[in-house]
Amino acid sequence: MCTVTFIPTKAGFTLTSNRDEQSSRPTLSPKKYLLYNQDLYFPKDKIAGGTWIATSNKKKTACLLNGAFERHERKNKYIKSRGLILLESFSYNKTEDFVNDVQLKGVEPFTLLLLNHENASDIKFTELRWDEKEKHIKKINTTSPQIWSSATLYDTDAIQKREELFENWIKEHSLPENKDILNFHNKKHGLQESIDIIMKRENELMTLSISQLIVKHQALEYIYLDLIENKEYFLKIPE
């Protein structure tokens, strides 16, 4: 939910997400859930019941980052978890309808990445940012690699350093394999530890897990690395 990369491939794309969170926050490893008349696959936050990344058997994927454009002042209470908003997106047949209809008043700022990959050669990718006042909607170019960093954890300078790091890595890996991408997300790159891709701070905030979704034609593979328990999970969708 805090560092996300999208890398197009000849057969589809690879979406990888690092979750930076308090080490004590309980999480369930990814599995299949039946929601909105479809099979959804995602890890679950045990406290709020939502998730930061999910994919469905209807060829849709959603990925969440905390914050919109800059760090915001948190309120004591919000009406709904951002992770539940992500799951709500799967109740809509069309991304456009969800983006237009979803009610976000009283929801903490977020960035939501929404992909429709029914046709792997014609991926539809929409970015929705909510800043507590209005929605900001953007169509993402699916022909070039992209990186996002959570605005709540990384300031403008840190985000720029991470983007430069990613750009240089892409230059060295013009056609990266999925294991190369996973390795990018699962190592320190020489930045200050508090802003590196694998990050750690004094308040037990650290990279807890890595989720990687690999879309190839009509098949999808889900790799989940639990960095705390040192466990790896693998799901093939459809099963």
Which pLDDT score is estimated for 219? 85
- Return the sign of the alpha-carbon dihedral for residues 127, 22, 46, 15: positive
Residue 71: the pLDDT is 86
Distance CA 117, CA 17 (A): 18
Q: Write out the H or E segment, with its range, that includes residue 161.
A: helix 156-172
| 10-residue stretch averages of pLDDT, the chain, 239 residues long | 92 96 92 96 92 96 96 88 97 97 96 93 94 97 97 96 98 94 97 97 94 91 96 91
Give the residues across from 208 on adjacent strands. Answer: none
Q: Which amino acid, residue 165?
A: L
* Global pTM value: 0.96
- What pLDDT, on a 0 to 100 scale, did the predictor assign at position 174? 86
Cis check for the bond before 238: say yes or no (omega within 30 of 0): yes
Q: How many domains does the chain have?
A: 1
On whether the CB atoms of residues 56 and 37 are closer than 8 A, the answer is no
- Round to whole Å and give the CA distance between 114 and 57: 15
Q: Quote the pLDDT of residue 184.
A: 98
Distance CA 212, CA 201 (A): 24
Strand extents, DSSP E, the chain: 3-9, 12-22, 27-35, 38-45, 53-56, 60-66, 110-116, 124-130, 135-139, 146-149, 205-216, 219-226, 231-237
Q: Say whether 180 sits in a helix, a strand or coil.
A: helix
Residue 216 belongs to domain spanning = 3-237
Residue 154 has a pLDDT of: 96
How far is 158 from 164, CA to CA, in rounded Å? 10
Question: According to the model, what pLDDT value does residue 112 have?
Answer: 98
In this predicted structure, what is the pLDDT of residue 120? 77
Question: What CATH code is carried by the domain that includes residue 199?
Answer: 3.60.60.10
